[in-house]
Structure 1
Amino acid sequence: MSPHTFHTLPSLRHAVRGICRAHCLPSPNGARLVLSVSRLATAALDAGGSVRLEAVEQPVPGGRTLLAVTLHAGRTPASPSPADLPLPGQATPDGTVAWHLPLGEAGSRGEDRPPSLAPPAPRGDAPAPGGAREAAAEGYEAEIAALEGELGAALSRVDTLSTELHRLKDELAETNSGVLALYVQLEERDEQLRRAHGQILRELEDALRPPPITVNGMDLAVHYAPADPDAPTGGDFYDWLLLPDGTVHITVVDALGHGVRSTRSALNVTHAVRTLALEGHPLESIVARTHDILAPFDPDLMATVLLARIDPETGALRLANGSHPPALVVRADGTADYLELRGRGIGFPLPGSDTVREDTLHEGDLLMLYTDGLTESRRDPIEGEARLVTSARAHARRPVEEIPGAVAKDMHTVILHPDDTLALAVRRTGKPQRGHPLAGQP
């Protein structure tokens, strides 16, 4: 559109609307442009002057196109600041104001719909009388002014809401960033607390476990691993001690459950068994008597128990079992056997060992006592027992202190059912030297 001069506000508005339609400007931008041009031109037209309007499409880098609309209205004391218009423009010292509006794909079709620069034609088939025509024009102008006032107020409200929305978005982004940072800090703190908690529990549980014993003619070692390293307490426990008659007593317990409660239950069992063993009760009666002692105090207690008595002098081995996995013996010649023995654990119906199984550990024989976490990590105890035989035979000649951990590592290459694991190894190294049958215990 080449520059065109306007002497009336209606004709100017009509031309601006035509430009907006021709270049397919979005409605909000078009309405703001009409209001801005009208406010700038009002002062000049009220003073009896004229204004010039020009609209040109300008390509910009990136393949985009801008619509440059320029109004030459001059400067008057009543002219508003271009920065305060509904659509702020760029002003020059001579009073020219320009707007640069981005066009979409539809903007290129503007040349198919050239803007009309003429004022709107009067309605009706015949021209109206002069007085009526002037009255109609005044009424039309008043109606347009009222609508523009309402539109300006609406656009102002939209601007206010847009500003508030941007502010709220910025605040929300800052809040989300702060929450995320706090969440990360809490996660790190929680991880630190978990590790510290686990370390404390490990130290407490280690303090509760029996100290090592040294027996002339026998080597002993144990390995324990919790199902959850951050919560190392569990119901797998053991006890070993030297009895007054010189035999070695070993207790292996697996109390139902995990955590501190199961640890307490396992400790109760080992303490009761130790007391009964030191009092000289027969091995075959200890499981049942332990149940009788603990049931009144802990009726929910359920635990499997395996008891072993070994004479370091002769190698005589006696076993009692309460629902526990059987002991495994690997002979010096490489053969291996499970020492099966029936019985029912503490908290089970009819608790006690059905009988006592007797065997002999010869020089070089290895005895493995364990909990089901060692053989049931793949949810198949039969397959686990077969793998345990293979692993124990493979490591039987290693130093005893290395055997339990090496066997557990073999057994846990695949873990489908995590559980607390206890593995205890005893090897008979030979007949004790005369005069030094026992080295004692701390």
Structure 2
Amino acid sequence: MDLSRAEPASGEAADVLGVKQNEIVTSLRRRVRTACGEGGVPSEDRARLVLAVTLLAEAILDAGGMVDLETTVTDGVLTISVRSSEPITQSDLDNLPRPAAATDDGRATWRFITGDLPIPVPADDGRATREEMLALTTRADAHARGLQELKQELAETNSGVLAMYIELEQRDEQLRHAHARIFHELEDALRPPPPSVPGLELGVCYSPTEADSPTGGDLYDWFVLPDGHLHVTLVDAVGHGVASTRDALTVTHTIRTLALERHPFSDLIAHASRTLAPIAPHLMATVLLARIDPATGATHLANGGHPEPVLVDPAGSARLLRPPATGRGVGFPRPGSPRLLDVELAPGATLLLYTDGLVETRKDVDEGQARLLELAGAHADRPATVLPSEVVERMHDVVLYADDTVLLAIRRPAADARR
């Protein structure tokens, strides 16, 4: 059996190496999901296993090693093993999201009791990751509710259980940090990297409320439609923690499905709200959509209660793109964008899409937007890949009100840059 290997590289070859490593890791995830689906492994167990295999494979490939995966089913037991050219010790495996056992021949092995029926697994890596994230967030919600109920019961007892209550608080803190680590890693998987769009340069920066905060309701999605246009969805779900992450994920997935089914761009927000109302009646989220033609720069914006985007022209002058009519997001009364905003992304121009955490750090939105316009113009010459991080860092120099922040940059390179 051939082992996959990512050879060391430097300079421009590092990009090729990164692509090859991603292909290897994606292939391993697909094989793990296939085996788990056929073996009837529950989604939440599959999610932790996929993440564990991903982290272990990346570490091996980064060290220049070779890696492969084997699956077997014997007497109702599914065995999944990672084989590496590099030594694997038990200490390497104990801290994985799903700990494994190190065998004498240097393999990492996981075992599961197979289910009675297979469980369908999405073929698309992104959709499978979203399904796994939803399974874990649901499980985390159940744990949180159980812990809260237990705390209330302990609080009603006499002082003799005070020591138990303190111990529970400590375990709760440990569990929160463990979940935060897993959620951060899964959020990285849920934040899609910029797609390859000839004629456009893309960049993104995500800044969480706190360094150890689990998840938030600020998510984005961008992909290329069959006609070559770039579609961007930016969502800010009402609420905090894993519940808002689940809501934001639900909205982005719904809009992606509707867009790929070729529903009218102007109706996507309202259609998504109607679709989700029966199944998620309490879900509320502001939404900003962009549809861009890379060949001409023609850009359509649908704003459902979201902060106004910023357009920086080739000369470095920045302005807010205010919608022609007030729109409302998913879950709000009369959702949708009554009128689209149409602009041209000229060669050398940059479009910035962001969530309110970027401009509310000093509790004054007007001041925040004014500072954003100034910084966007002053840094207009920076590459689109690094512009979001630099702007977010400077906008967050003083933080009186902390909130999750997403900033996306979309630039149409100047003619001389394209040549």
TM-score, length-scaled by structure 2: 0.57
In structure 2, the partner of 1:379 is: 363
Structure 1 Cα separation of the partners of residues 261 and 346 of structure 2: 28
Question: Taking structure 1 as reference, are residues 379 and 433 closer, same or farther at Cα in structure 2, changes over 3 Å only?
Answer: closer
Map residues 112-151 of structure 1 onto 2, 5 A cutoff: none
Q: CA deviation at 1:432?
A: 12
Please give the alpha-carbon distance, in whole angstroms, between the structure 1 residues aligned to 2:330 and 2:170. 42
Q: CA RMSD in A?
A: 2.5
Match for 1:212 among 190, 194, 219?
194
**2:249 maps to which of 261, 264, 267:** 267
Q: Residues 231 and 357 of structure 1: is their aligned pair in 2 closer, same or farther, counting only changes over 3 Å?
A: same
**Counterpart code for 1:288:** A
> Aligned partners of 2:360 and 2:188: how far apart in 1?
24
CA distance in 1, matches of 2:408, 2:341: 19
Question: 1: distance between equivalents of 2:172 and 2:283?
Answer: 32
Q: Is the 8 A contact 1:240 1:250 kept in 2?
A: yes
Please, which of 265, 273, 276 is the counterpart of residue 291 of structure 1? 273
2:311 aligned partner: 329
Quote the Cα distance in structure 2 between the aligned partners of 1:372 and 1:334.
23
Distance 1:361 1:198, change over 3 A: same
Structure 1 residue aligned with 2:349: 365
Q: 1:367 to 1:375 in 2, by over 3 A?
A: same
Residue 373 of structure 2 is aligned with which of 367, 386, 389?
389
For 1:433 and 1:382, locate their aligned partners in 2 and report how far apart those are by CA, in whole Å: 34
- The separation in 1 between residues aligned to 2:239 and 2:245, in whole angstroms, is 9
Deviations 1:242-286 (A, max 9, x none): 011110000000000111110010011101111111111111111
Name the CA distance, whole Å, in 1 between partners of 2:193 and 2:330. 25
Cα pair 2:362 2:400 within 8 Å, conserved:
yes
Partner secondary structure for residue 257 of structure 1: coil
The one-letter amino acid of 1:389's match is L
User: Deviation at 1:205?
Assistant: 1.3
Residues 214 and 242, structure 2, Cα contact 8 Å, conserved in 1: no
**Amino acid across the alignment from 1:243:** L
Per-residue deviation, 1:206: 1.5
SS of structure 1 residue aligned to 2:385: helix
Change (3 A) 1:275 1:329: same
Report the secondary structure of 2:334's partner residue.
coil
* Alpha-carbon distance in structure 1 between the residues aligned to 2:358 and 2:304: 18
Residues paired across the two proteins, number: 253
AA in 2 matched with 1:207: A
Is 1:343–2:343 an aligned residue pair?
Answer: no
Q: 2:178, 2:392 → 1: CA distance?
A: 25
Q: Runs of 4 or more off by more than 4 Å in structure 1? A: 183-195, 430-434
Instruction: Give the conservation status (yes or no) of the 8 Å contact 1:366–1:427.
Output: yes
Secondary structure, in 3 states, of the residue corresponding to 2:409? Answer: strand
Aligned CA distance change for structure 1 residues 394 and 232 (closer, same or farther; 3 Å) = farther
Cα shift at 1:197:
2.9
The percent identity for this pair of structures is 56
Distance in 1 of aligned mates of 2:250 and 2:201: 27
Q: Give the structure 2 partner of residue 247 of structure 1.
A: 229
Q: TM-score when scaled to structure 1?
A: 0.54
Shift of the alpha carbon at 1:232? 3.2
Distance 1:296 1:329, change over 3 A: same
Q: Give the distance between the partners of 2:377 and 2:314, measured in 1 at CA.
A: 10
Residue 230, structure 1, aligned to residue 212, structure 2: yes
Higher CA-based Rg:
1
Give the Cα separation in 1 of the matches to 2:339 and 2:166. 58
For residue 336 of structure 2, what is the amino acid of its counterpart?
G
Q: What letter matches 1:330 in structure 2?
A: V
Q: Deviation at 1:200?
A: 1.1
Is residue 305–residue 322 contact of structure 1 (8 Å, CA) maintained in 2?
Answer: yes
